Structure 1
Amino acid sequence: LHMNTLTGILFLISLVFIFKFFFTFIQDIIAQRITRDLYRTVSSRIIRGWANADYRLLYLQTSTGYFMNILASVLWTFLGAFQNYGGVLVSLIFITVYLGFSVLLDWRITLSAVGAGMVVFILFRRFMTLTKQYSLRVVKEDERLQGGLVEFMQFYKYLKSTSRISTTGQYLEDIIHRATHLRFKIAIIGGFLANLPESLAVILVSLLLYVEIAFFGKEFSLIAVLILLFYRTFMRVVTLQSSWQKFLSGSGALKVIPEALEKIAKLKEQGGIIKKDKLDNAIRFHNVSFSYDTKLILSSISMEFKKNTVVALVGASGVGKSTIVDLVSGILKPTTGEIMFDRIPYQNLDVSWLRQHIGYVTQEITMFNGTIADNISFWDDRPKEDVMRRVEEQCRKAYCTDFIERLPFRYDTMVGDRGINLSVGQRQRVAIARELYRGPDIIVFDEATSALDTESEQYIQKSLDAIKGTKTIILIAHRLSTIKNADYLYVIDQGHVLEEGTFKNLYENRNSKFHQMSVSQQI
């Protein structure tokens, strides 16, 4: 086959475009599959790593918006950058193929055209560097925006009530302004690089081919094919440049995602492997101290929580009561001292298993935007009849049945965002029913009645009385009236166990701190 014949030229053109069709189609399929699998893999690693992270390290070393920004924005940018990088590789392959055919036709003209193209590429390198810098700044601004939006909605009532919502809104608007301005700059650079190089390339190629025809007498048929190949080559160069620019615009994500995966690996919670069926005797603290950096929270405390007893922790706010509970659940680790689950050191226990046996009812009630039944069963996937039978049983123990039965949709009633459709007392009783549904050995009530009216508090007290003797219950309370039926009390003061004993013994000791607290509350 002679390349200067019409038949050879037509065959060459057909061959090039058949190759282009099959290669592009296969490349699209492969790219989409890789993108899908990569998103699944990376997002799963982030979510699982987040779930398995050490609580203390997680909140000390990351912000609220950090992982949200990664999953909602940065990961998609990362995948887009990956796809654009694939586009760069594909363009390089096409350019190589086109130039290979061009070399077969006339190597001298081809080399001249390549040289002209390199000049154009070098001229625009500065713009690509700017795009990369802007991309990194966009990622940081997006992280601030995600965190700010979460806090804006989380603390909306406070911000609205204190007329600080405008200030917070302006802070968010400033972030949006900076981020959009950076994106605008990236878009301008992208538009410039996408359009100008093609015009320059056409001018350079036209001049080159004019010189070859006018001064070197090349045949027009050869030049026509070279024009086609050069045009396709330079179009691919423009595509390559555009893909590379888009790749650089997402390069901030290429830096952030590996850093996030590395950070998650470092945040992984450490623990043992022992899984014990249930608490047989007691959880014991032996000379346990805990510090946040240099601030001492607990100092050499020793206490025990015996099986199926009610133990109360009392004291002023900020003296370390909630920290004790966090140590019980394994959320925090002692700085010094030892905690034993029966005779097993906590560090030898599988902490994930341990928490499956602990229920937690807090003052800040956790409610999900779903039905009452879903909030109690936590979307249990067992047969609905079994789930509802168990839900109703636990609601009776938590004294929820009376108000739920009066609702139009009963257990299918939507509680709304953070349970807004229920009163505080109703939410608290639903929260208790949820913990009872799990069937834990240990239930913690952390200031669970402090925000309730007298009637709601009485319902909570009835719930406690109903499960007393069947669970190990840890109570944290300011209202001493709620701990009268506790089996044992610890009075915590400035991180120390100041007093301990039964309610009766501590109350009757007129010199005790507990007696003074009781008198101040008119008990």
Structure 2
Amino acid sequence: MNFLKNYIRTNFSNFTFFYSILKARIFIVIVLSILTGILDSIGLTMFLPLLQLADGGNQIDLGNLSFITDFLTYCNIKLTISKALVFLLLVFLVKGFVVYKTNVYKLLSQHLLAEKIRLKIVEQFSTFQYKQFVKTDIGKIQNIFLSEIARLTATFSNYISMIQGIIMITIYLIFSFMVDWQFALLVCLGGVFSDFVFKRINKLTKEKSKDISSINNRFANALIQYVNNFKYLKATGKIQDYKERVKNAIADMHQVNIAMGVLNAKVSSFREPLLIGIVVCVILLQIRLFSASISDILISLLFFYRALTSIVTVQNNYNNAIANQGAIDNIQSFFKELDSASEAISNNLFHGFNTAIQLKNIFFNYDDVNVLQNVTIEIPKNQSIALVGESGSGKTTLVNILTQLLPCEQGEFTIDGVDIRDYNAFTYQKYIGYISQESTIFNDTIYNNVTFWAPKTPENIKNFKDALKRAAIFDFVWSLKKKEETLLGNNGINLSGGQRQRISIARELFKDVQILIFDEATSALDSETEQEIQKSIDELKGQLTLVSIAHRLATIKNADVIYVLDKGQVVEYGSFDDLAKSSVRFKKMVELQEI
């Protein structure tokens, strides 16, 4: 049983992948395809009695296919030319209805596949470990969401069409063998020969498919950087140099797509002439060597013409499917990456804390580099602490652990004495407000940026205005023509650096949080605005638990406890005044900043 499962998984990996998402829908399409093939073959078979009746024959002989005329006799229908034509028309009308239903069902399944894949990625992406995310190519992620899923649905369409074609070919061959087995056998041998001829092209197509995914990833990455870093590239005169990098990525992408198109053109152009040549040779053999009946050959040929058309279609669908095979490989690889780096989410909901957060003997490494070593800090509820130290001292990593962006690899992280891992991370993070050095602005209105798309209830509007005032940006917003409905543009391009930062601060002040983290939050502001916001922050003392990373020591003078970090270790801690008196290191930092 395990051998059979492994064989199917290895040789029918695409089928198992599609089945894992669409389940029984694939089999419904297959059943409808079988029905289509049978109806089409019955319709084609009706040409044989038409030929016999047209020749003036009174006896209709369908040989192994006489079950069709037996059925009509059972229904008390005596075949005449007119009745045979009516029956032929009815069969093809029913077939047309089945084909319509099949194509609609296939289309719905195709869109359902894309929807489920996107939803699955979005769902798993929410539990993707931050540590792994920072190592992942952003261009790859965007390419998968857009281009690769489009290629995947094209692959599904070609793959299902290929299965439908194979079913049709099988049914046509069965009917053809029932009419004239010698003719059918010779044509089948010719078909095997044609497959051998195109084997090399199929192999090249598969290799090019992998190249397409890789090159599309590189192009998406180059394009994202071109847009996101536009200001820097423009200001430093590097935009022309980087433009060439993007142009080269575009050229590579088009080159590999052209190569793939040429391979497909070879298959679609030469397969049919080759197959027709094989049929011509077989007909000559049948007539001259086996003295076959021309009427049997004509009906059998009609079946084979249908089969050959289906073979060409199957071959084209197969080449198109393997041309996009790289998309399936890319998406499956990303799913494996998401699975392997998925966070374990507890069912125990976090409802806030009462006494203190403790990080005890914390160690953390980045690729064998010691970032934090034996760090211990305590954050009592509604007190303010600050983290200071040179760049690379571990301040941001410590905050990333505090926000559960990074796991606590070694040591203890407890809240009110309970291990942080016992809580659902999402519910814990909802109690955290985070204001970083790089302000986050969404391409939407001011109101939606601050409230995170909260409905415009009287209470939300009041809280929105209060948040703007506490972030010292209310007067600016209300001076705008559209006020809170003003669109901020891509990454807040319509705002100054200080205004972007204040919008970010207002967003966190709007939330109902217990812990508010400032990661160099006022670094982009002028001195006057910084003092206004710092005053608002100081007013939060005693109401919220405040954690600040700061280079400007003036912004943390009122912190309850300041932790000084150096090379991943806490070397000193205490109040501002105590450290300024007792610590040579801290005193030097104060003197350098002339506080």
The TM tier, using the shorter chain, reads: over 0.9
From 172, 175, 195, the counterpart of 1:101: 175
* 1:43 aligned residue (109, 118, 122): 118
Deviations 1:425-470 (A, max 9, x none): 2221111110111111000010011221112212211220232221
Instruction: Quote the offset at 1:314 in angstroms.
Output: 1.4
Name stretches of at least 5 consecutive residues in structure 2 with no aligned partner: 1-45, 55-59, 63-83
Rounded to whole Å, the distance in 2 between the matches of 1:133 and 1:6 is 54
Among residues 509, 524, 531, which one is paired with 1:451 in the alignment? 524
Native 8 Å contact 1:65 1:146 kept in 2: yes
User: How does 1:58-207 map onto structure 2 within 5 Å?
Assistant: 58-60=133-135, 62-207=136-281
Q: Which residue of the partner structure matches residue 52 of structure 2?
A: 5
Deviations 1:134-167 (A, max 9, x none): 0011111111111222222222222223333233
SS of the counterpart of 2:227?
helix
Residue-by-residue CA offset, 1:224-277 (whole Å, 9 max, x unaligned)? 333332222111110011111111101112222222212211110135443232
Q: What is the alpha-carbon distance in structure 1 between the residues aligned to residue 153 and residue 466 of structure 2?
A: 48
Tell me what 1:437 maps to. Answer: 510
Could you tell me how far apart the structure 1 residues matched to 2:258 and 2:348 are?
55
Distance 1:216 1:291, change over 3 A: closer
Following TM superposition, by how much is the alpha carbon of 1:401 offset from its aligned partner in structure 2, in angstroms? Answer: 1.1
**Aligned-residue offset at 1:517:** 0.9
C-alpha distance in 1 between matches for 2:408 and 2:291: 88
Is the Cα contact below 8 Å between 2:162 and 2:317 reproduced in 1? yes
In 2, Cα distance between the equivalents of 1:340 and 1:223?
84
- More divergent stretch after superposition (213-222 vs 395-404): 213-222
The DSSP-based 3-state class of the residue aligned with 2:396 is helix
* Gap regions ≥5 residues in structure 1: none
String of CA shifts for 1:9-36, please: whole Å, max 9, x gaps: 8669657745653443232123222222
Change (3 A) 1:186 1:16: farther
**Which residue number in structure 2 is paired with residue 276 of structure 1?**
350
Task: Give the distance between the partners of 1:103 and 1:300, measured in 2 at CA.
Answer: 80
TM-score w.r.t. the length of structure 1 is 0.94
2:392 paired with 1:318: yes
Q: Name the CA distance, whole Å, in 2 between partners of 1:488 and 1:216.
A: 102
Q: 2:376 aligns with which of 267, 290, 302?
A: 302
Evaluate the alpha carbon distance shift between residue 276 and residue 199 of structure 1 in structure 2; reply closer, same or farther with a 3 A threshold: closer
Judge conservation of contact 2:580–2:587 (CA < 8 Å) in 1. yes
2:410 corresponds, among 310, 329, 336, to 336
Q: Distance in 2 between matches of 1:257 and 1:228?
A: 42
Kept in 2, the 8 Å contact 1:298–1:495? The answer is yes
1:411-422 correspondence runs (5 A): 411-422=484-495
Report if the CA contact (8 A) 2:472-2:529 is conserved: no
Residue in structure 2 matched with residue 407 of structure 1 by the alignment: 480
Deviation for aligned residue 1:479: 1.0
Deviation larger for 123-132 or 29-38: 29-38
Q: Kindly tell me: are residues 6 and 230 of structure 1, through their superposed partners in 2, closer, same or farther at Cα, counting changes over 3 Å?
A: farther
The answer to whether structure 1 residue 486 and structure 2 residue 559 are counterparts is yes
The AA in structure 1 aligned to 2:528 is: E
Residue 16 of structure 2 is matched in structure 1 by none
**Cα separation, 2, equivalents of 1:473 and 1:289:** 23
**Percent identity of paired positions between Structure 1 and Structure 2:** 32
After the TM superposition, which of the residue ranges 226-235 and 243-252 deviates more from structure 2? 226-235
One-letter code aligned to 2:589: M
Q: Determine the C-alpha separation between the residues in 2 that align with 1:190 and 1:18.
A: 34
Q: Which residue of 2 aligns with 1:236?
A: 310
Distance, in Å, in 1 between the alignment partners of 2:287 and 2:370 is: 87
For 1:207-218, list aligned pairs within 5 A: 207-213=281-287, 217-218=291-292
Deviates more, 1:317-326 or 1:385-394: 385-394
State the superposition RMSD in angstroms: 2.2
Q: When the two structures are superposed, what TM-score results if normalisation uses the length of structure 2? A: 0.83
- The one-letter code of the counterpart of 2:440 is T
Match of 1:520 in 2: 592
2:354 match: secondary structure? coil
Conserved? CA contact 1:54–1:270, under 8 Å: no
Matched residue type, 1:389: K
Structure 1's 377 and 104: CA in aligned 2 closer, same or farther, altered over 3 A? same
158-167 or 333-342: bigger deviation: 158-167
**Cross-structure match for 2:3:** none
Which is further off, 440-449 or 475-484? 475-484
Aligned equivalents of 2:546, 2:99: Cα separation in 1 = 65
Q: Contact (CA 8 Å) 2:111, 2:153: kept in 1 or not?
A: no
The 2-side partners of 1:6 and 1:197 are apart by: 36
* 1:285 partner SS: strand
Give the CA deviation at 1:176: 2.2
Mapping of 1:452-467 within 5 angstroms? 452-467=525-540
Superposed, 1:11-30 pairs within 5 Å as 17-18=92-93, 20-30=95-105
Equivalent position amino acid for 2:369 in 1: K
CA 1:15/1:133 → structure 2, altered by over 3 Å: closer, same or farther?
farther
Deviation at 1:318, TM superposition (A): 1.5
Q: 1:274 to 1:226 in 2, by over 3 A?
A: closer
**What SS is found at the alignment partner of 1:374?**
helix
Matched-pair contact (CA < 8 Å) for 2:351–2:427: no
User: Per the alignment, in what secondary structure is the counterpart of residue 5 of structure 1?
Assistant: helix
Q: Flag the 1:275–1:215 CA change in 2: closer, same or farther, 3 A.
A: closer
SS in 1 for 2:433: strand
User: 1:34 maps to what in 2?
Assistant: 109
CA contact (8 A) 2:353 2:381 kept: yes
Letter in 2 for 1:300: N
Quickly say closer, same or farther: Cα 1:181–1:241, change in 2 above 3 A: same
